[in-house]
Amino acid sequence: MIDLHMHTVYSDGELIPAELARRARTAGYQAMAFTDHADHSNIEHILKSLLKIVNEYSLYQEIELLAGVELTHVPPPLIPDLVKKARDLGAQIVLVHGETIVEPVATGTNHAAIMGGVDILAHPGLITAQDAALAAQKNVCLEITTRKGHSLTNGHVLNLAREHGARLLINNDAHAPEDLVGKDFRRNVAIGAGMSVSEYVQAEQNSVDVIAGIRAGLQRSEFSRK
């Protein structure tokens, strides 16, 4: 299993990064991303701290670690520039907290995230057909989530992604140890949303592909510095 959306004490999670990584590995995950909630006030601190953990602990945790952020409740006009800033600060993966129906997310957040070139649009709620098509065009992954509340619109996200060819992946949006669900639960959430078995397998493969793309990008960056 791979999960690219997890939170630590650097935002509203319960665990420090080292413990979250250890618990994720024990739960059966092969790779994970730290993606704490960020806006203009804390993005530097979060990424500096998470990158330190990823750089120093990755050889010892028996799980591949990525450092990123989930830009959260940022005014839509400011999202594209903050996505760029996150990458300039070293973020290996960038998510935006999408327009879930269980929080007062500003209208236009989904569109701004996609146009800003995020890697993953998290729990995009009642995403429009136009934005689903744009996500497919921009190669932005849409999230099927196992998290209570956010998961209420999984079926809608699946249907529009299927119709417009957008890539899907499955994430926990983990904030606490009990959120690190097992493989059977992940699969059941996906199937419960209406995924076929082949679509579920493809969604899990999409996470593998995202990490491969990140690795390739990092390798290119390292080569360009030499």
CATH number assigned to the domain comprising residue 149? 3.20.20.140
- Which range of residues forms the domain containing residue 159? 2-225
**In total, how many domains does the chain have?**
1
pTM over 0.75: yes
Q: Encode the chain (226 residues) as per-residue pLDDT tens digits.
A: 999 999 999 999 999 999 999 999 999 999 999 999 999 999 999 999 999 999 999 889 899 999 999 999 999 999 999 999 999 999 999 999 999 999 999 999 999 999 999 999 999 999 999 999 999 999 999 999 999 999 999 999 999 999 999 999 999 999 999 999 999 999 999 999 999 999 999 999 999 999 999 988 875 554 443 4
Q: How far is CA 154 from CA 33, 108, 193, in A?
A: 21, 19, 6
